[in-house]
Structure 1
């Protein structure tokens, strides 16, 4: 095989005349190009580190400050340093290489450097203070107050052409709310869910905590907030994600879908070629920090934290007996590919350059044409990543720590990302929309339980008919980060990269490209038993998931804005109405909000089931309530929701604070009935909006179909619902609903019908048709 020849750099034989050395010039050439590529990346990283480290200053600014300072000193014959240059010069020895004039120049450069660093620190601290002010959030939508206009002076201090990580040192730290405020808002959030007796009991527990144990725990948390970059994120990653011992498939990993109505090509290898090439181009931009920093909102461009981008590629979750770890490689030049029970290693570079789409398609064609059978235990191997974590950790240590098994596992875990060439067909079918979308979602969420490597940062899944999607591991980052990558891929695939008339990638195959490397395994029978146990558990979990995806196209954010209501608040209130009709009761509701306005921020919870929302829902249930009263209650509920969202985004949420207080209590060995009860409350309705972040990449006016249909996740509670939604353009909202078949209380399709009806009923309150007449 071609790759076998490329693997040998040189050969030698011993003859009577001495050693006969035969060098393979092509192999040495590839080694040279590979080394050159690595050194280029190191230089780029070093340069980017310097640029980011001095931001909002720049090396050019250094030259301007130093030259201006020296010129002023020379031509004005004045010393603005008040003698500091002369004092520095005295400590620089005079020699034949260093004259008195040279002393003055060196001293002037040192003083100019100090001045430049001082200017940078002043600009950075002013910018940090400006970014700590969030008064702009309270302005009415579409208007800019005078205080906000004055605040926008921050653009003067934010530098020019920022790179991805430029703002990291200027972002403020996440503030720690007071125990009193958190306790007050907690009681307010559960009032609608408790009767008077339950509420009085919880009120007593809360007051006792606020007075006694709370201040002690708060002191430790304050100390951590002064010392650490973020007082929440490291504990959140460790205790919520990495210490979980149950399966991450369904319970943690989430998925992202392809276009809904657009099918660029039906050739599986070609779709994989364009998608993989687009992903690798994104990785190159990420390595060079050339991705534009995310910001919010569009009008003000307030920078968001970019820390989560660091582990997007070359990252794997490694199982442990008690806790997992995230293994991140600085560089990886290959991907791992799975097809029909076999694993392959595919190099992404040749001749010192990234493979072109047609060349990647060529590699995928070779894998698809490979008729070899899986080795014993190989086909279901990835089921270990779908089952419980502890058996996987034991199996990894026992059977994959040496020999060919270790080499093959390293090839997967150290890959840039994982690719599955799925042998099933998934697609939105207009004649059978419900069943086709439900099947598509379940395939992305869990597949066959052995054809996804759930530990990788993300899996690219390309189906037999050319449809594709992602499955992402959750601990390293939140959904908007992987969504940013996915938007880049979808915007490049059919338009910028394109396909030939017969559906292949543009370009020509490479005549000398070495083929993929088949990974080798030696899996003993005992390990195969562990694999089978994990697969059985994973299949039970997967079969229990009830997925329902439906495009809501009766109206979108265009009409909602005419109601002068926040689209997110409108949808969240509709979900509450739908849930009450579905179950006949309210429940604790989780809506994810980001805290990336702060350094290393991740998420906070918006408790969407408020007293105001419940009052509105009850008014919709009672037939005697007049429309004007319902509209008044709706407005109050929407305003309350928006205010809670603002509090969550600005570090004034309650759930991350309570979580960290609970962690501190465990470290101190203190038992808190209040915290124990709060942290054990189930989220029976878990919701999240998938934001469309890079609107400029898509022409949603002329081509609204050229955008992702969003993604979803599994149910959080055994008797609850998981709901994800994406607002696409002005006239479409896609809903992704999940629950469990085993629960008699839930039915994803029934809940979907209730959501649709709730959306229509709320819109009817505004009587937009009559206003248009």
Structure 2
């Protein structure tokens, strides 16, 4: 089982895990008006950046990775290569890209979906999917597995109805609308394995009024609308159905051939096994039922207690009680710990953040009296049947071993710091997101004595079908900041000035990237314009081109007070996956890495240096305010 950096090509290392910047969460109150997509037709098209602008920004972005910076001979020589590209091969590739973009509202959309996701062949879990761990609820519902499962499902169905009827309020940032296209892919949708690339398939929600419940390794089709009347089931009716499924599944021994583990395979392997399964008509029907279902609910038999245990449970779990190809998959453990896992190919994190944030707020206010219902409809569910032949049996056993090997190679530390968060950072006149990015840079510098390429996703949803652009977090200013901070001869005022300079530089890059004018997506587009047999330009063959996209730190922010966990995997063997939340008065960073990290890096040590860094930052900032008042 090769980790996903094995598929990186000469023309740029891809980071499979792209996350979005946070957006405001607006009302989900149904108003009877079709508002969800009302701005879609007026959204601007994604621009093709100018060649000169991209190459100028690129030259600035790589400076920190040369020992002598701008004065480094290797840097100066590469700049000559870049300038030559701007004059020779670049204009033709730019012309082709501009022609390719003609008539398209988003020239990048298909390229990115296939390049970063559908064409990517390593397992989606744990290497691509992202997770949210819900906060614990100290209520009767929050402590009961089946009641919480029913409550989650009921509120998800409510949210789904708002999308179906287009009554969900669209998202606006400072009065500007964001693209809501990805909400179409949240429900009744599934990734389907294929060769050489996967596809996604969307089903009618009106014709598929059911969800899939996986319990003890068995799959059940559970209706959330009455088969006879078409009426949406009440909370009490859903509870009765989920309870019946749970009881039925546990009257049998744990499933010895859990089909779900196959979705954790390498995508080429899964595509072959999927085709074999579909050769059996009964299996094909069962697979189509899973794919067309609204969403998946998994009833687990474990008891995750710590935040790290909860995070691991939703990041990949045991593998057998899962279907990793669905974009919305909810888990509820025996102790009612709940979480979410998102398949990434059609959606980034902000739409599902909005849904999860909303449903947990809803459940927090629920009472057990809502489970009492006058209607006594018999539970409506059917168990899905799979005929498992010797070949599939062998593949299941093989995948169990592979999954165990892969997941045991990963390590995690969940770092949290309370009493200092968004409000405290803003009080110092700093961008909370840029502040945490510099916190990460400082901690990594303390740990390793150097800076390395860092990825942060910037949302481009201001454009039609916009997803993300890379923000390169390491800059000349950020490098100067970490050096100044560790320099004992620098005063507190000098260190803070350096911090502010780094933060301002980062904010400028995020703004440029959010406008679709970053470096990485444009360079990707140019490489895709090369024709078969054409010579690869030297700009793309230089070691710095590859190195500067080798994301030693893969970072992104999605924040919610309703979560106690959020994360994903590292994207290179030497790297960290750093998913962070910036809540009003506390910070969270989920730190993942490979145990056999070639640099010997460990999440526990990164957490130690995050604590040391935040304590130093907090202390010096507080002293500066006291001095200013004096």
Normalization by structure 1: what TM-score? 0.73
Asked if 1:217 is matched to 2:93, the reply is: yes
Larger-gyration structure (1/2): 1
SS of 1:450's equivalent in the other structure is coil
What are the equivalent positions in structure 2 for 1:414-563 lying under 5 Å apart? 414-427=292-305, 436-495=306-365, 497-500=366-369, 506-508=371-373, 510-563=375-428
CA contact (8 A) 1:376 1:523 kept: no
Q: Which of the pair is proportionally richer in helix?
A: 1
Report the CA distance shift for 1:755/1:315 in structure 2 as closer, same or farther (over 3 A). same
SS of 2:416's equivalent in the other structure is strand
Report the CA distance shift for 1:640/1:558 in structure 2 as closer, same or farther (over 3 A). same
SS of 1:250's equivalent in the other structure is helix
CA contact (8 A) 2:210 2:224 kept: yes
Q: Equivalent residue for 2:172?
A: 295
Q: Equivalent residue for 1:383?
A: 261
Q: Equivalent residue for 1:78?
A: none
SS of 2:312's equivalent in the other structure is helix
Q: Equivalent residue for 1:139?
A: none
Report the CA distance shift for 1:669/1:510 in structure 2 as closer, same or farther (over 3 A). farther
Q: Equivalent residue for 2:65?
A: 193
Q: Equivalent residue for 2:554?
A: 686
SS of 2:372's equivalent in the other structure is coil
Asked if 1:265 is matched to 2:142, the reply is: yes
Report the CA distance shift for 1:613/1:600 in structure 2 as closer, same or farther (over 3 A). same
Please, which runs of 5 or more residues in structure 1 have no aligned partner? 1-159, 428-435, 693-705
Q: Equivalent residue for 1:91?
A: none
SS of 2:124's equivalent in the other structure is coil
CA shift digits 1:622-647 (9 cap, x unpaired): 11112222122112111111111110
Q: Equivalent residue for 1:227?
A: 103
SS of 1:449's equivalent in the other structure is coil
CA contact (8 A) 1:421 1:463 kept: yes
Report the CA distance shift for 1:270/1:509 in structure 2 as closer, same or farther (over 3 A). farther
* Match of residue 647, structure 1, among 493, 512, 519: 512
SS of 1:327's equivalent in the other structure is strand
Q: Equivalent residue for 1:3?
A: none
Report the CA distance shift for 1:567/1:267 in structure 2 as closer, same or farther (over 3 A). same
Q: Equivalent residue for 1:240?
A: 116
Distance in structure 2 (CA, Å) of the matches to 1:262 and 1:735:
24
Distance in structure 1 (CA, Å) of the matches to 2:136 and 2:52:
48
Report the CA distance shift for 1:727/1:211 in structure 2 as closer, same or farther (over 3 A). same
What are the equivalent positions in structure 2 for 1:9-408 lying under 5 Å apart? 163-195=35-67, 196-260=72-136, 262=138, 264-296=141-173, 300-331=174-205, 332-350=208-226, 351-370=229-248, 371-373=250-252, 378-379=257-258, 381-408=259-286
Structure 1 residue 610, shift from structure 2 partner: 0.5
Distance in structure 2 (CA, Å) of the matches to 1:202 and 1:404:
59
SS of 2:102's equivalent in the other structure is helix
SS of 1:344's equivalent in the other structure is strand
* Match of residue 287, structure 2, among 405, 409, 419: 409
CA shift digits 1:160-191 (9 cap, x unpaired): 97711111111111111111111111111111
SS of 2:359's equivalent in the other structure is helix
Report the CA distance shift for 1:178/1:237 in structure 2 as closer, same or farther (over 3 A). same
Distance in structure 1 (CA, Å) of the matches to 2:255 and 2:433:
51
Structure 1 residue 468, shift from structure 2 partner: 0.5
* Match of residue 566, structure 2, among 711, 722, 727: 711
CA shift digits 1:121-174 (9 cap, x unpaired): xxxxxxxxxxxxxxxxxxxxxxxxxxxxxxxxxxxxxxx977111111111111
Distance in structure 2 (CA, Å) of the matches to 1:551 and 1:318:
37
Distance in structure 1 (CA, Å) of the matches to 2:476 and 2:102:
35
Q: Equivalent residue for 1:747?
A: 602
Structure 1 residue 510, shift from structure 2 partner: 4.7
Distance in structure 1 (CA, Å) of the matches to 2:480 and 2:172:
35
SS of 1:738's equivalent in the other structure is strand
SS of 2:579's equivalent in the other structure is strand
Superposed CA RMSD in Å reads 2.0
Q: Equivalent residue for 1:724?
A: 579
Structure 1 residue 509, shift from structure 2 partner: 7.4
Distance in structure 1 (CA, Å) of the matches to 2:301 and 2:221:
19
Q: Equivalent residue for 2:470?
A: 605
CA shift digits 1:596-634 (9 cap, x unpaired): 111111001111110001001001111111222212211
SS of 2:62's equivalent in the other structure is helix
CA shift digits 1:700-747 (9 cap, x unpaired): xxxxxx622351111111111111111222x11222111111115221
Structure 1 residue 519, shift from structure 2 partner: 1.3
CA contact (8 A) 2:554 2:578 kept: yes
CA contact (8 A) 1:342 1:378 kept: no
Q: Equivalent residue for 2:589?
A: 735
CA contact (8 A) 2:210 2:223 kept: yes
Q: Equivalent residue for 2:8?
A: none
Q: Which has the higher contact order (CA 8 A, sep 6+)?
A: 2
Report the CA distance shift for 1:365/1:769 in structure 2 as closer, same or farther (over 3 A). farther
Distance in structure 2 (CA, Å) of the matches to 1:399 and 1:676:
42
Report the CA distance shift for 1:251/1:509 in structure 2 as closer, same or farther (over 3 A). farther
Q: Equivalent residue for 2:611?
A: 756
Normalization by structure 2: what TM-score? 0.89
Structure 1 residue 262, shift from structure 2 partner: 4.4
What count of residue pairs does the alignment treat as equivalent?
A: 583
Q: Equivalent residue for 1:113?
A: none
Segment of structure 1 superposing worse, 545-554 or 590-599 = 545-554
Report the CA distance shift for 1:448/1:612 in structure 2 as closer, same or farther (over 3 A). same
Distance in structure 2 (CA, Å) of the matches to 1:748 and 1:220:
44
CA contact (8 A) 1:571 1:759 kept: no
Please, which runs of 5 or more residues in structure 2 have no aligned partner? 1-31
Report the CA distance shift for 1:279/1:666 in structure 2 as closer, same or farther (over 3 A). farther
Structure 1 residue 587, shift from structure 2 partner: 0.3
SS of 2:341's equivalent in the other structure is strand
Report the CA distance shift for 1:488/1:619 in structure 2 as closer, same or farther (over 3 A). same
